[in-house]
Structure 1
C-alpha cells in the first residue's frame, strides 16, 4: 500500500486536464499532436515561474492558445510567424492550426453527463470602424465568436459590459477581469475568451474525513489547511529524475473525474525536498512518461482542500516566448482592418480554481485589446489579453 501525505506545501498540480494544463494523457476528447500542446504548456509554465518567484501559479495554456489564435487570424508577416512559432504551429500547413483549435474546443464543449465544460469567445468592436469582413467571418467559423459594437471612449460602461459577459460565461467565478483604465478613445477592438469547468471526482472524498493539518512551507513558516483523505484504487507511481540527491524521487498520482475522460495529475517531491528542485526538470516528455507509467494500486491520499484566484500580467511572458511584434509599433494586424495601425499593448490572465471533497471547479477569462497606434498620445494606454487556467503550483 502506497502512502501520500502532503505535509510539505510544495506540490505541482497538472490538471484540470485539459483546462488547467492542456489536452494530454488525461484527455481523450480530441486527437491533438503532443508536440503542439504539452511543450507550449511547459514553456509557459517555466516563464511564469521565473517571473513569479515563490508565488502560486495558476494559468491555462489552452485559453492562451485560443486568445492568440484569434489574434493570429488578423496577423500577417513577422507578427503571424512569431505566434505560430511560439505556440508550436510552425510545422503545420498554413492555417491548419485554426481547424485544430476549432476541433479541440468543439470536442471539449460537447455535452457530457459527467462534467461541465463551457467555452465562449466574443469580439467587441469600436462602433464606426470598418473591420475586414473576412476576418469577422473566420472568427465566427473557427471560434464561434459573437460580435458586439461598443464605444470604447465610454470606458466604464464598456468594462462593465465585458466583465458581465465574462461572469455570465464562467458562473460568476471570474469577476472584474478588465477595468475602465484598460480602454480609451484609441481602443479599436477587444477579443475575449471564457472557459468554465466543473467535474466530480470518480472517487469522492468523505467530508467527515477532512482534518486540519499544519503545513510547513519552503521558507520554514507554517500554515493551517484542511486536508482531505481517502483510501482507494488510483493510478500511482514513483519516479526518479536520475540524480543521486535526496530529491531525485517524485510521487505521481492521477485523480480521474467522473467519466474518466479527464483527470488531475498531482506531482509531489519527497517530503524534505523543495519544489524548486522539481520545477527545472519539468518537460513535456517527462510528464508524458509519468502519466503513461502510473499503475493502478491501493493508495492512501491526503490532498489539500483549497481555493485560489490569480491575475497575472502576461505581456512580458509572451514576449519572452518570442511573440514580440504584436506588442510594438512593428505589429502587423492588417487582416483585421485596412492598413497596419493596430497593436496589442498588454496581456493579463485571471483564473480561478477550487478543489473540494466532491471535485474541482475552474474558470478563466481571456481577452486581447487592440489599439490604433496612429492616435496614441500616452504610453500608458494599453491592450489586454486575459487568459485562463492550467498548471497550478501550490
Structure 2
C-alpha cells in the first residue's frame, strides 16, 4: 500500500494546510481518514472530468495503478483498480477489535427510492467501504429521513455524534446522501 499511503498523506497535508491558512492561531480538529473514505466513495462512482479532478485532489494520479477507465461498463469490482481494494483492506484492519483502543468507521448511502442507482457502484461500495444503500423518500419524508440518518450515525458512534444533520439541512430534491461516521 506504499503508493496509496503516500497519496493519502499528501491529501491530508493539503487539507491541513488549507484549514490552517483559514484558522491561523486556532486549534484544528478534523478526520482526514473520514474525508478520504467519503471522497474515495465519490471517486468510485465518478467519471470523466469529475473523476480526473478527484484523482488529482486525492493524489491518486501518483499511484502505480490508478482507476482504470471503463469501470462503469465492467461487470466486476476488480476492474476499478487497486485503490479501492486497498481501501477495503485498510477498512477491515481499522475495524478489527483491539483491547488497547477502538477506532471504527461506518459508511452508508441513503438514496431516493425513485432513482435506480448503478448496481456495480452499489456492489463495490458495499464490498470495499461496507456502505450499503438504504432507500428513503427525501421528497415526501425529508424530516423523517433526516432523523433516520441521524439515528444511524448516533448508533454507529455510540452516541458521540448526535444530530449530524440539523433541521432543514436535507433538501427534498436530494438524490443521495453519503454518510461517513
CA contact (8 A) 1:158 1:180 kept: no
Residue of structure 2 aligned with 1:106, choices 81, 92, 110: 92
Unaligned runs of 5+ in 2: 68-80
Structural RMSD (CA): 1.5
Higher relative contact order (CA 8 A, sep 6+): 1
Mapped partners of 2:134, 2:143: distance in 1 = 16
* Cα offset, 1:74, TM superposition: 1.1
Q: TM-score, normalised by structure 1?
A: 0.40
Mapped partners of 1:32, 1:115: distance in 2 = 24
Number of the residue aligned with 1:60? 31
Number of the residue aligned with 2:106? 120
Offset from partner CA, 1:232-261 (integer Å, 9 cap, x none): xxxxxxxxxxxxxxxxxxxxxxxxxxxxxx
Offset from partner CA, 1:342-391 (integer Å, 9 cap, x none): xxxxxxxxxxxxxxxxxxxxxxxxxxxxxxxxxxxxxxxxxxxxxxxxxx
Offset from partner CA, 1:156-176 (integer Å, 9 cap, x none): 211111111111111111111
CA contact (8 A) 1:123 1:189 kept: yes
CA contact (8 A) 2:109 2:131 kept: yes
Instruction: Map residues 14-163 of structure 1 onto 2, 5 A cutoff.
Output: 31-33=1-3, 34-92=5-63, 93=65, 94=67, 95-153=81-139, 154-163=141-150
Mapped partners of 1:139, 1:35: distance in 2 = 23
Mapped partners of 1:64, 1:161: distance in 2 = 22
Equivalenced residue count is 164
Mapped partners of 2:104, 2:48: distance in 1 = 33
Instruction: Map residues 307-322 of structure 1 onto 2, 5 A cutoff.
Output: none
* Cα offset, 1:32, TM superposition: 4.2
Q: TM-score, normalised by structure 2?
A: 0.84
> Greater CA radius of gyration, 1 or 2?
1
Unaligned runs of 5+ in 1: 1-30, 195-394
CA contact (8 A) 2:154 2:161 kept: yes
- Flag the structure with higher strand content: 1
- Flag the structure with higher helix content: 2
